[in-house]
Structure 1
Amino acid sequence: MDARVTHKILICLGSSCHSRGNADNLKIIKDFLKERQIESRIDFRGHLCNEMCKRGPVIEIDDIVFEGITQSNINSILSNHFDKAACI
Structure 2
Amino acid sequence: MTELKICVGSACHLKGSTEVIDIFKKCVDSRNVSDKVEIKGAFCLGHCTEAVSVCLNDKIYSVAPENAETFFDKHVMDSLCEELL
Q: Any idea what SS the aligned residue of 2:32 has?
A: coil
Name which of 3, 9, 20 aligns with 1:8. Answer: 3
Inter-partner Cα distance in structure 2 for 1:82 and 1:9: 8
Select the structure that is richer in helix.
2
Unaligned runs of 5+ in 2: none
Unaligned runs of 5+ in 1: none
Alpha carbons of structure 1 residues 56 and 82: separation in structure 2 relative to 1, 3 Å:
closer
Inter-partner Cα distance in structure 1 for 2:53 and 2:33: 22
TM-aligned CA deviation for residue 18 of structure 1: 1.0
**8 Å CA contact retained: 2:20, 2:68:** yes
- TM-score, length-scaled by structure 2: 0.83
Name which of 34, 40, 43 aligns with 1:39. Answer: 34
1:18 is aligned to 13
Q: Any idea what SS the aligned residue of 2:13 has?
A: helix
TM-aligned CA deviation for residue 40 of structure 1: 1.8
- TM-score, length-scaled by structure 1: 0.80
RMSD: 1.7
Inter-partner Cα distance in structure 1 for 2:46 and 2:73: 27
Inter-partner Cα distance in structure 2 for 1:39 and 1:13: 21
Which 4+ runs in 1 deviate beyond 4 A?
A: none
Paired AA for residue 18 in structure 1 = H
Select the structure that is richer in strand.
2
Identical aligned residues as a percent: 20
Q: Any idea what SS the aligned residue of 2:5 has?
A: strand
